[in-house]
Each structure stands twice: as C-alpha cells, then as structure tokens.
Chains A and B, each alone.
Chain A
Amino acid sequence: MKTQEYVLSATDVVKWYSQRVKSERFRFRSASKTVKAVDGVSLQIKAGEIMGIIGESGCGKSTLGKMLVRLENPTSGDISVHGVSSDQMLKEDQLQFRRTVQIVFQNPFDTFDPRTTIERILTDTLKLHKIGETHEERYEIAAKALEDVGLQPADDYLYRYPFELSGGQLQRISILRAMLLKPSFLVADEPVSMLDVSVRAEIIKMLKDLVKNHNTALVFISHDISTTRYISDNVSVMYLGRIIESGATDDVLHHPQHPYTKVLLSNTASIDLTEKREVITIDGEPPTPIDHGPGCYFAPRCYMAQDICLKEYPKRVEVKDNHWAACHFTQ
C-alpha cells in the first residue's frame, strides 16, 4: 500500500468554526457564519522528513498543527498515521496514539505546571506511558535525556521548578519531554519565536538532531521564513486555510511560483546590505476566512490578479518534481 510509506498523511482536512454574528436584517436575531480556518489541506510526510509550514498569523497553521495531533477534531477529512486512520487509533488505544504523535508549543513558560519540578514533569510522562519499572529507572532515563542535549549536570536541572529556568532551557526541556516517548511524528508550533536570536540557533540544532536521530517526521510551523529554511527539507506555504505552494525548501524559497510566496519573501527583512532588494508591496491584510468567493483566496490582494482569478479557484500546477503551486499563472 502506498500510504504506508508515509508516517503521516492527511487528506482534505477541513476545520470550520461557526461564529454567531448579528443579523443584518433583524436586530434581535443572530445568524451563524462559518470561519473556514483550515479548508482542505493534504499533507504527506515520510519518516525523518522535516516539513516547514509558513504563513502569516491567522492563516490556520496552528489549527492545522493541532489537528494533526488530534487536539482539535477535523470537521471532515482524514488523518492517518502509518496508514491507520487516527479515528480508529484513538478509539482503540488513546495512549498508544499519543505516544506516536507529540506536539511542542510556542510559549515554554506556559507549557509546564508551575508547581511541579522538572523531575516530575519528565518522569510523570514516562509513568503515564508505562516506561520504566521503578521511579529510579525513570529518573535515570530523564537524566540521560537531559545530559544528551547538553543540560549538564542533569541533577542540577531535575530538582528545579520551571520558573527557575530561562526560556531557552525550558523550551529544550519541552522538546525533550515530547521526544522522550520516541514518537514517530512531532509537531513543533513556533518553537523558537518566543526566544532570543542568540538562543534560537541551539534549539533549532537540537530539534533537528533529535528528530534525525530518531527518524521522526516533523512538522515545523513558523512565520519566520529564514529559520524554517535552516531546519526543513520541504516547505509548504499557507494562506487563508489552504496550502498554496509546496516543495523542496530551496526550490520554494529561491524560485517561488505563487505571487503570495513572492510577496512574503520580498518583505522578509535581511541583514545583507549589499543585496539588491525589490520589495513587492500589496495592500491590506489577510481577510478573515469567512465567505470568500469562488475564486482564488489571494486574488483581492494579488498584484497580478486577472478576471479568472476571481471566478475560479486555481488547480495545483506541478512546476518541478515535488514542487507545485496553486495559481492560474504558474508556468
């Protein structure tokens, strides 16, 4: 079977939220509108592959991330891990599913219970998943994991509380906790955006090493294109709930096809002063994903939009092996 090659495959995943708004015609009635946060996303990720997902805030990247680990239930569509549907896995053995997929969140200060020590944070995870017989054994596993990523001596960290550690250290522990269970699929939702640039490098390196060593598939969600470039093998660009371009990192970032990708790249500030930059400016901000017409979602802001863009949603056009964009003008 073809699906089994992939650790994770999502087909046409959709997440709609309903929103109550004041009715325009009747003062005291309310009408329901659907916010299409994620609107038909398909992804396939192989073992050991790192897929970067980039996009502006509000484009649905975090919702997608949460759905991939089933913290949110998709409205329709299917997510399967190793070819088995996640619905079925959750029904049969929830713990087993949680052990295969894990997530790392953006804010390391919020992800831990402030009243438990790092030791408990790490060993409780192991205990819940019945790894290790005794507490001592679990303690050893946790200590070894800490030392492997350079938090030495481990005893020094294990007895501390989360508030005693810096953001960078906490984020490392957060990644560690997710990787302790040796998941086959990990989602990292903006893992470095809260941290200083000087610490980011180490976290990115650690995440990359851990994932490659364990052959884990990783979805790296970020709005920072340059950071994503350093870690990911493939990149997908999202706009208003849909992936509009996808391909190998260097193909997408150096030969962008979709006008939105071009805009995004041209607006990314660079420290290279010698480089000649042509900034493509567009008006407005991403609209809320409610009731967009039949056409391309980016058309109202697009600098090269034509009539057809407003009438029809463009099909995927494959430019190169594994690199496609959804735009009418892709060559």
Chain B
Amino acid sequence: MPLLSIQNLQVKYRVKNKEIHAVNNISFDVEQQDSVGIVGESGSGKSTLAMALLRLLPERIAEVSGEVLFAGENLLTLDDERLKARRWTEMAVVFQKSMSALSPVHKIGYQMADIYKVHAKTATKEQAKARILELLEMVNLPARVYTMYPHELSGGMMQRVSIALSLMHNPKLLILDEATTALDVVTQGQILKEIMQLEERLNIARIMITHDMSVVATTCKKVAVMYAGNLLEFGLVKDIIAAPEHPYTKGLLQSIPALKGERGELIGIAGSLPDLSKSPSGCIFADRCPSRKPTCETETPIRRTLADGRMVACHIAGS
C-alpha cells in the first residue's frame, strides 16, 4: 500500500461569481521513502495541491473533492480532532518564507518548545529542550540558536530552523513548498544535501514543490509535471528528463539554460496560462502546444500509462 494516494483530487476556488479550477482531477501515489518533485510554472496549482492535501485551504472559498488516502485513511473526510493528531506527527510541511512562519518577538527555542508541547503534552521543559537541541544539531545549527530571535539569523539558518521544526515529531511525509527557492545556490546545495541525508536516516517520504527542474533532477526519484491545474506527466525522473513525452515537459526542459555544452538558442514556450475559470473544450495546453493536432482542441486527453510506467495526458505522446 502506498503511503499517500491521491485520487481524482479537485480544488475549485469560488471567487465572486466565477469558479476557478485550480487543481483538476489529479491522481498519483507516493510510496514509502519516495521523493516526488512537483514542477510547474507559477499559477499551475502546485501550492494549492499541497495545501489541499493537508486540508489547509479555507473551506469557505475552496471546494476540495476527491480522495487523499494517507496510510489508508481519507484525509479529506477525517474529523478535526483526528486530523489535528495526524498533522506534524505524520506529515509536516515547510513553506517558502520561513521568515514569516516564525514569530519575530519570541526566541527560537521558546517557539519550538511551544510546538513540541502540542503533541507531547506531558513533556517537561528539560525534555523539550533536549529534543530541540538534538534537532538543531541534526540540521547543522549551533546550539546558541536556541536563545536567538529570528531576525538574528540569516535566510539559510531560518530555513534550517523551519526544517528542524518540521522534523519535530518524526513525520513520515515531508512536504517542502519551494523551501529552498529563496536561498543562494551554495546554501541551497548544502540544505538539499542535508535533507537527503536526513530522509535516508529517518525514513521520510518527501514531496517537493518547486519551479526549478534542476533541483528535482538532482534530488528526487519521481517527478510530476503540472500545468494550469492539470497533471500532464508523472514518472521516474531519469525517464522523464532523458526523454520527455508531453510537449509541455519538452518545452520546459528546453527553456532551461545549460551550464555546459553548446551555447545554442534558448527556446521558450510562447503564450501564457489559460483562464482557469473556463473549462477548455480539449487539452488544456492545446493553444500553446507546438505539435497540436485538430483532436487536441476538441477532446480532453485521457491519462495513459506508457511502457516505462510513466503516466502522460496527451493525444500525441508515445506515438
């Protein structure tokens, strides 16, 4: 049984008098100790997907349907008490802006202890401190961070605090929502390496949301390519990067400048994201697609599984 199984997940935002289909019919599985990278441009629904998984979207404006099975339980129908018990102990999330995730007027140690006590109610102060110092060491931070304020830390250190926080209660699933995007290359490299080591040691499955294909290529086993709320291609990184099937994935890979080799022309993808409040008659990518056929504009492509196990939603792929 997969650790996390997403079945036909759909998220609609209700705004004024229209509905925006932010996530459209997405299904994929995350196995134990898997690492899945979700890539896509801004506005493609990556973050909405993560928020929907954790049920963090306000119910008033977002309508979530489908199934999210975490160890066999549907997270979307779980009652609040039980969901609360699952959060942080079984799945944790690290957001992009850790600067705004922490309170500026409390010391790091105090804030971390606060969270520790949520799930370990009987713990003493000493136990909390011991655990926090252990965590700080785990992410290569000096112990003095315990008595520091967030503004005294640099961006990389803050991000490490956030990662330490997320590991507080030994989660099985870690979701990183653009967690290293705001960092420098060198710091990003350091943190990604640390995360991968921790993962192996602590048996964690990871979902990594990013717009940077190269980060996924170096750190993930599987990749999910999203566009305008739809999952276009899903499979092993080594298959997809070596031979992308969906024209969008191809375009995305082509537009990444390379550090080595020929300095040829960069090819972008013309056009911009479609209006998400209207449901398209055919493939969602049709009007930007360089290799579209008449059927692409009239028929929605069905998800197919190709020979190497990858999933692709395109009429022309694999032929």
Contacts and interface: CB of A to CB of B under 8 A. Distances in A.
B251 interface: yes
Interface in A223-240: 223-227, 229-230
Given A56-B185, A56-B186, A264-B185, A198 B255 contact: yes
B269 A198 contact: yes
Specify which of A197, A223, A224, A281 lies most central, judged by the most chain B CB atoms within 10 Å of its CB: A197
Interface stretch (A68-76, A79-87, A266-274): A266-274
Contacts of B217: 269-273
B105 interface: no
Given A201-B268, A269-B217, A285 B187 contact: yes
Contacts, number: 113
Interface residues of B, number: 42
A224 B184 CA distance: 9
A270 B218 contact: yes
B267 interface: yes
Interface in A177-207: 196-202, 204-205
Contact of B184 (A196, A223, A281): A223
Given A198-B251, A198-B268, A201-B267, A264 B259 contact: no
Contacts of A268: 185, 214, 259
B298 interface: no
Contact of B154 (A204, A223, A254, A285): A285
B213 A197 contact: yes
Contacts of A198: 41, 251-252, 255, 268-269
A282 B267 CA distance: 34
A279 interface: yes
B115 interface: no
A23 interface: no
A111 interface: no
B289 interface: no
Interface string A76-116: 00000000000000000000000000000000000000000
Given A197-B255, A200-B255, A223 B185 contact: yes
A253 B263 contact: no
B307 interface: no
Contact of A275 (B212, B260, B269): B260
Contact of A281 (B188, B190, B268): B190
A208 B212 CA distance: 23
B257 interface: yes
A24 B188 CA distance: 34
A270 B217 CA distance: 7
B258 interface: yes
Given A197-B211, A227-B257, A285-B154, A269 B189 contact: yes
A57 B184 contact: yes
Nearest to B215: A269
15 contacts: A197-B213, A197-B255, A197-B256, A198-B269, A201-B266, A201-B268, A205-B268, A223-B185, A254-B260, A267-B189, A269-B212, A269-B214, A282-B186, A285-B156, A285-B184
Given A205-B265, A230-B263, 13 more contacts: A197-B255, A202-B270, A226-B259, A263-B186, A267-B189, A269-B185, A270-B260, A271-B217, A271-B241, A272-B217, A273-B238, A281-B190, A286-B184
